[in-house]
Each structure stands twice: as structure tokens, then as C-alpha cells.
A and B are shown apart, each in its own frame.
Chain A
Amino acid sequence: MSGYWIGIITILAINIVFAYGIFLAVATGQLNLGGAGFQAIGAYSAAWLSAEMGMPLYVTIPASILVTGLIGFAFAFPILRLKGVYLVLGTFAFAEVVVGIIINSDALGGAMGLPVPDYIDWPVPVAGAVVAALICFYIMSTRLGLVVRAVHDDDVVSDLMGVDVRMVRVAMFALGAGLAGLSGGLYAHAYTYVEVQTFNSALSIYVLLYVLLGGAQTPWGPMVGAAFFTLVPELLRNLLPQMKVAVMSVFGVEGAVTPPDESWRFVLLGVVTVLMMVFRSEGLVTRQLVERLSHPFRRRSSNATQKEAEA
């Protein structure tokens, strides 16, 4: 496999793990716009243990999950009293504070970053993505998953049904933080360098968009979202210059055309986001879509029942 594809598979796997981390919070109806903060905690705990303590991989990667999960748990208890925009702001502020602390910490290399001695090849992040996906699919298929979706839909009624809404939210938020931490640990070892500038607010925004545009109703959504928004920009990297050449040739310009700015890809991501919110705000993959695809023959009969019921 070429280095180009190895790079893409690695970042895709890391993004999938990251998206699942945010998905678990979003699945309970909590928008987590602090993803970059949690990924940074995971990345720096793995990097620090590896660089300063000389710990091996099988310690640093689990440590990145554990440290981030515990911090997420401690943070979730007070912050999940907040709802709606307050919660979004709170998680966003958390990420900014984390990054701010790292910049000011000499032990973590400050603005310079930390080199990570141990390198991992692409199979490790891919294994991480598979594990994260299995965990999420499993949880969502259990009674806990049912309760998670109920809390997302209506927290007042869930409470009256005997669901401990706060515990469900805190548990999912913390577990999600752990997965975001894992994505950070994988990132640190895959790129053998961590730099605080990587974990900026734009990253938090992107990962939330992966989840929401992919669809937060089923665990398929984050995977599809992360894959779509990691792979499509790569396709556009080749496609956009060709399109520009084509457009230019319509206006009679021949020969060498300077390739378009990288920013065009983000403009397109923005346009897709706005259009998705207008036309399909529940995301690409919905529960009904999964249901329909997994039971292709049920659909007709269910329509028949509905007609009978209405008649």
C-alpha cells in the first residue's frame, strides 16, 4: 500500500474513533463541542507517558482512555446540569481551557509540542476504530442503548419511566470522553508528535459535524459521517483543480491554471452543512433508513397496516 493511502486510512480510523466519542454524548441529546479538548488530553497523556516516562504502547494507549474518561466523568457531573446552548458553551470553554493550560505548561512542551518516541503503523488505529465501533453498536443494542435514545427524545418522560437521566448522560459523556481520548492517544503515536495548535476549536466543530451530518440516531451515523468528511475532501483535492481547469476553458483560458485554494474544500463542507440542516437535519443515516435496509420486505406490509389503520 502506498504511503498516501496509509496516511488516509490512519486519519480515517482516528476520526472514526473520535466521532464515536462525540456520538455517545450526542446520542443522549447532549451536544459536545469540546471534542478537541478531550482529544488533546488523550494525546498529551500518551505523549507524556511515552516521552518522559518511557512507557510502552500497551500502557500509554489505555492510559489515554482512562485519563480522559476520568476527566470527562469529573467534568460531566457539574456541566451536565446545563442544557441547550449553555452546555454547548460549557464544553466549548472546556476545550479552550485545556488547550490554554497545555500552552502554559512547560512539562508538556508548551506551544512547542512534544515528540513521541513510539510509532504505530496503520493497523493499530484501524483496530481502535473497530473496537470503538463494536462498543457503540453493542451499547446501542442493549437496554442501556434504548434508555440513551429515550433520554435523547424526551428527558422528562424518561425520568417518569424510571430512567436515571443524569446518570445515563454522565456515563455516556464520560465513556465518549474516553473514546475521544483513545483517538488522541492513537493520534500521538501515529504522527509521533503532538502540537497544541492541532487541537483548536475548528477540530471540535468538524468532529461534531461528522456526527450530526452522519446522523446520531444509530451508530452507523458517525462512521458514515467521519468517512464521508475524511474521504470526500481527499477526492476534491484532485477534483477541484480539474473543475477549475474545465471552468477556465469555458472562458477560453488554456494551459496551466493555478490550483484552487485549499479553503474551497471548507467552503464546500460549510455549504453541505447548511443544506443538510435545511433538507435532512437528522443526518445522512436515520434509524428508519437502517430499518428499511435491514428488512427490505417489511416495508410494504407495514404500509399496508398503516392504511388499514387509517381506513
Chain B
Amino acid sequence: MSTVPLLSVENLSISFGGLKVIDDVSFTLEQGGRLALIGPNGAGKTTIFNLLSGVYRQDAGHVRLGGQLIDTVPSRQRIGFGMARSFQNIRLMPHLGVVENVMLGQHSRADRPGGLLAPLSFLGRSKARAEAEALLAEMGIEVMPGQDVSTLPYGIRKKIELVRALAARPRLLLLDEPAAGLNGAETEELMAFLDRISASGVTLLVVEHDMGLVRSLCTRAVVLNFGRKIYDGPTAEVQRDPLVLEAYLGPRHSDKSEASDVA
């Protein structure tokens, strides 16, 4: 194990129209770790994801991935540094088939199967297609390869989006509310799925509202409120922290010892 954390966020800040959306946030994430990023609505969780993946450029602060400064790396190249993400609202390509969506995930890899001008399904299956199909099968998704993603149920699309991110072979996976909109059984399945991903050595950074999922999936949590970090520690103790309780329930409730309905 190297001593350098895989992800290190240092004093990150960004404002939109004079409003500080992220204010001096710092945290680190070890290789192979599982960190939850939580906080009330509008706390800036998705904004952090957008800063990490380069959709927004920060006003101040730094982001390091594997010790390397990636502040000036354009969003397009960040996936090449080993960082892939999912989206709060599923953003699969509506006119691409299931397998094609996963093949898009391979695009950033230096060792991707097939060159830019190599046919992907000419005369039987090419390597890229075969690899994508294998990955889908491995993750237990059985759909017709050519099927349009828009016709599939929500839970399956959510999984396909995860598989697309995995196809990039990331070191760090950013998951934006992976369990949102899933029913109980689907959430169970997702948990097992994420456990397997984590066991294979992928580091997880998860934005999630479901505290049950957060506690069973992640060992550590960072809590944001109004763009500031108010807690950084074990998930087990999050719900006893006075600042966190105040953020979720308002100052009057902060004297209560435990609130089970946090988030």
C-alpha cells in the first residue's frame, strides 16, 4: 500500500453568482477505501462530483489523484487518470444499444480493444463487443445486446450505467445516488454488486441519501452543509454528531441524543 492517498481534495471552493456553493472543503480517500459524501439537499455534494470530474473548474483549491495534481486536466482526460462516475439521473445514451453504451465506457482506456477505425461488429463480434458483453454477463445483466436502453426498466438502466463506468477500468468510482429510485430488493442487489466492485480493488466515493446503505457500504463519511465540511469520521458515529444533527434537523433538535430519521 502506498502512503499517498488515492484522492486528495485540498481547500476546494467554487461560487456561482456570488454564492459560495463549495467553501474550503478538504478530505482524502485512501486506495481501496469507501467514503460516503452526505448532507442535506443543496449542500453541494453533486457540485463536488462535478468539480472532481472537471465539469466545473474550481475558484480555489486543488484536487490530486494518486498524488498527481489534476486541476488543469480537462474533463475529457480525467477518466484516463482512473476516475469514472455515474450520474444522479441516469445518463445513458438513448440511441445506443446496451452493449454499445458499455463499449463507450472503454473509450478512454489506452489498452482498449480495437482502434478508432476498427469495425466493432463487422463479420461477427469484435474484441471490444465481446469484452463489453462479458462484463455485462459478469455483473448479472442479461439483455439482448442490441436492445435500446430507453426500453429497459429503471433498475437495470442504473446497473448498466455502473457497468459503463466500470468498463473504463477506474481506480476511483464516483457514484451519485446509486440507490435512488430503487426498491428494496434492487437496493440489496446493488449492495452486493458494489461489494464485489470494491473487493476487486476499486475505490468508492458515494453520494447517497439512504443512511442504511451508507452505514453498511461505507466505513467513513464526510458531511457537507451549505458547502462546508462539518463532519469527517466513521459512519457509525455520524448520527451522534451535534453539528450534523443541527444541519439536518435545525438547532432545536440538536440536544437529542440520536435521530434515526437522519436523511
User: CB of A298 within 8 A of chain B?
Assistant: yes
Once bound together, how far apart are the Cα atoms of A139 and B164, in whole Å?
22
Of the listed stretches A6-14, A147-155, A257-265, name the one at the interface; the rest are far from the partner chain. Answer: A147-155
Do A306 and B117 form a contact, CB below 8 Å, given A152-B95, A161-B107? no
- B128 proximal to A (CB < 8 A): yes
Q: Is the CB of B120 within 8 A of A141?
A: yes
Any A CB within 8 A of the CB of B116: yes
Report the minimal beta-carbon distance from B106 to chain A, rounded to whole angstroms. Answer: 9
Q: Find B96's partner among A142, A144, A153 (CB 8 Å cutoff).
A: A153
Nearest residue, chain A, Cβ from B85: A160
Which of A146, A147, A149, A301 has the most CB atoms of chain B within a 10 A radius of its CB?
A146
Q: B76–A147 contact, CB under 8 A?
A: no
Interface range on chain B: under 10, 10 to 19, 20 to 34, or 35 or more? 35 or more
Contacts A143-B114, A146-B96, A162-B80 hold; do A157 and B87 have CB atoms under 8 A apart?
yes
Bound-state CA distance A288–B97 (Å) is 9
CB atoms of B93 and A306 under 8 A apart: no
Are A163 and B76 touching (Cβ within 8 A)?
Answer: yes
Q: A147-B104, A147-B107, A156-B55 are in contact. Are A162 and B76 (CB under 8 A)?
A: yes
Q: Is the interface of A mostly helix, strand, loop or mixed?
A: helix
Given A152, A159, A306, which contacts B151 in the complex, CB threshold below 8 Å? Answer: A306
What is the distance, in angstroms, from A27's C-beta to the closest C-beta of chain B? Answer: 11
- With both beta carbons as reference points, the residue of chain A lying nearest to B115 in the complex is identified as A143
Number of A positions contacting B (CB below 8 A): 36
Given known contacts A149-B95, A150-B104, A302-B143, is B79 in contact with A142 (CB within 8 Å)?
no
CB <8 Å contact, A309 and B152: yes
CB distance from B52 to the nearest CB of A (A): 11
What's the nearest-Cβ distance from chain B to residue A168, in Å?
A: 10
Asked if B153 lies at the interface with its beta carbon under 8 angstroms from chain A, I say yes
Q: Contacts of A295 on B, CB cut-off 8 Å?
A: 146
Asked if A119 CB lies within 8 Å of chain B CBs, one says: no
Contacting residues, chain A, for B95 (C-beta < 8 A): 149, 152-153, 217, 287
Q: Is the CB of B104 within 8 A of A146?
A: yes
Contact A298/B117 with A154-B91, A309-B153, A309-B156 known, Cβ cut-off 8 Å: no
Scan residues 118-167 of chain B and give those whose CB is less than 8 A from a CB of chain A.
118-122, 128, 142-144, 146-148, 151-153, 156, 164
Q: Determine whether A86 belongs to the interface, using a CB cutoff of 8 Å to chain B.
A: no
In Å, the complex CA distance between A261 and B47 comes to 61
A162 touches B91 (CB 8 A): no
Sample of 19 further A-B pairs with CB below 8 A, known A142-B116, A309-B152: A141-B121, A143-B107, A143-B114, A144-B117, A152-B95, A153-B93, A157-B87, A160-B55, A160-B78, A160-B79, A161-B107, A162-B168, A217-B95, A291-B146, A295-B146, A302-B146, A302-B147, A306-B143, A309-B153
Q: Could you list 30 examples of A-B contacts with CB < 8 Å?
A: A139-B117, A141-B122, A142-B117, A143-B118, A144-B117, A146-B96, A146-B104, A147-B104, A150-B93, A153-B94, A153-B95, A154-B93, A156-B91, A160-B53, A160-B55, A160-B78, A160-B85, A161-B108, A161-B164, A162-B76, A162-B168, A164-B76, A287-B148, A291-B146, A302-B144, A302-B146, A306-B151, A306-B153, A309-B152, A309-B153
4 nearest A-B pairs in the assembled complex, by CB-CB distance = A162-B108, A302-B144, A153-B93, A162-B79
Q: Which residues of A contact B (CB under 8 A)?
A: 138-139, 141-147, 149-150, 152-154, 156-165, 217, 287-288, 291, 295, 298, 301-302, 305-306, 309-310
